Structure 1
Amino acid sequence: MNKKIVIAGLLALFAIAGAGCASKQTSAPATPSQETQTSAAQNSTPEQTTPDPSAQSAENNGASQTPASPSTEPTKTKTDTEKSGDRQTQQITVYYTDTQENGLKEQKKEITYPSELEKFQKAFEALQKSGDSALVPLWSEKITVHKIKLDNGALTFDISLPDEARLGAGGEELAIDALKQTMFQFKEVKTLDLLVDGQSLESLMGHVDLEHPMSR
């Protein structure tokens, strides 16, 4: 009786142990299957493609290589160059006197100049040199021009006047008249002022009153 109970107990234990092993063998493979599904699920996720660095670089280079904007620096045209180098020529009337200072004597002269102020300089230089022994300049070549200014029709000469360039009363009056008639032939000149070393003198050479400015 006791043996039967012991045997039955042993058989029961074996049965329980056998059932446990069977359960373990059945459940053990489940884990790999989940991993496979997980892996498969992960593998089924759409693959994110990595941009080709060389292609992206090419695109960036293409975007950065924008057409160069046209230069805004003004181009110097041929016309401008010709204008800047132009030298105008004009025939003017210049006034001198004779050897006896018997009034003014006129002479036609041609002057060439690159600018308006240079025109007045050339006209003054023409007063200093006649090129004819019968015509005596009233303005000595020793007189130099410091500055010439033209402002709204007001022409100003600033000159030096050395003692050897001074004339008597008759010569002084003729010299002023010669200067006026020579400069007033230019239509743009409305008034004429004459300074000596920057100063407005009452008399140019001490004999004749000098107006500031002189009018036509």
Structure 2
Amino acid sequence: MFNKKLGLICMASALLMVIAGCGSKPAAAPANEGGIVTPAVVSGAEGNTEASAQPSASAIPDPSSQPTTGNTDTTAEPSPGSTPPEEKQSKSIDVYYTDPQMMDLKPAQATIAYKDDIEKYTEAFKALQNSNNADLISLWGKIELKSLKFENGQIVMDIHKPAEAQLGAGGEAFALSALTKTLFQFPEVQSIELLVDGEQVESLMGHADLLHPMTRDNSQ
């Protein structure tokens, strides 16, 4: 009888130990959707988790890849050192032609536009080549201006004179006078060097001497 009671006591004690051991097991962490259990490791500081519990760097959005918002000024600025285009000046000048019978020189008004001295003299010569009046005949209309330079008060002109531009003695004299009167109205011009195909020639059309250079004094 005593042995039977002792056996019951031992069985009850063993059962209590089993129950106590089951109650002390840690609960398993819930599994992720992929089936992998990731334990949350807690450091000694309150509520601070280790790097394994932080989001990965690839999950943090890159600010440079995000679309910009707000107003963006797309106005094109002029590049440093650039200069605006130079505006042309206008000037009314006297241009000299002859009458249909080539008896005299006739002045007429013309307006030229230019941005520098070279263009001013070039435009003056172009005006000398053209007349919109049937009573005013250009003496330079068939002559080609190849180049024009200006330095130290002197205009250097290089022209080409085709055969059809040939004039008589009176026409040659009027042509040279028309050229000098037109260009010497600019105060800064002191002399004119006239070349034919790059060469100094004794006469423009074979009738009158061509001076090198023509000046205000010797062209009167």
- What TM-score do the two structures reach when normalised by structure 2? 0.61
Over aligned residue pairs, what C-alpha RMSD do you find?
1.3
Amino acid at match of 1:119: K
Once the two structures are superposed, the pairs formed by residues 137-156 of structure 1 within 5 Å of their partners are 137-140=138-141, 142-156=142-156
Mapping of residues 44-59 of structure 1, within 5 Å: none
Note the 1:123-202 alignment, pairs <5 A: 123-140=124-141, 142-202=142-202
Counterpart-to-counterpart distance in 1, 2:117 and 2:198? 21
Letter of the structure 2 residue corresponding to residue 114 of structure 1:
K
Tell me how far apart the structure 2 counterparts of residues 116 and 198 of structure 1 sit (CA, whole Å): 21
**3-state SS of the aligned residue for 2:171?**
helix
Runs (4 or more) in structure 1 with deviation over 4 Å come to: none
Larger radius of gyration: 1
Q: Which residue of 2 aligns with 1:71?
A: none
**Partner amino acid for 1:75?**
P
Q: CA deviation at 1:102?
A: 1.4
Measure, in 2, the Cα distance between the counterparts of 1:205 and 1:151: 27
**Which residue does 1:93 correspond to in 2?**
94
For structure 2, list consecutive stretches of 5 or more residues without a partner in the other structure: 1-78
The aligned amino acid for 1:153 is G
C-alpha distance after superposition, 1:72-105 (max 9, x if no partner): xx9347xx41xx3311111000000001111110
- Please identify which structure carries the higher helix content: 1
- Give, in angstroms, the shift of residue 126 of structure 1: 0.5
Which residue identity does 1:201 align to in structure 2? V
Residues in 2 aligned to 1:182 and 1:156: alpha-carbon distance in whole angstroms:
15
The alignment partner of 1:138 has SS state of coil
Q: Which residue of 1 aligns with 2:14?
A: none
Higher mean C-alpha displacement, 162-171 vs 142-151 = 142-151
| Identity across the alignment (%) | 47
Aligned to 1:150, what secondary structure does the other structure show? Answer: strand
Q: The residue matched to 2:109 in structure 1 has which SS?
A: strand
Q: What is the rounded CA distance, in whole Å, between the counterparts of 2:135 and 2:109 in structure 1?
A: 14
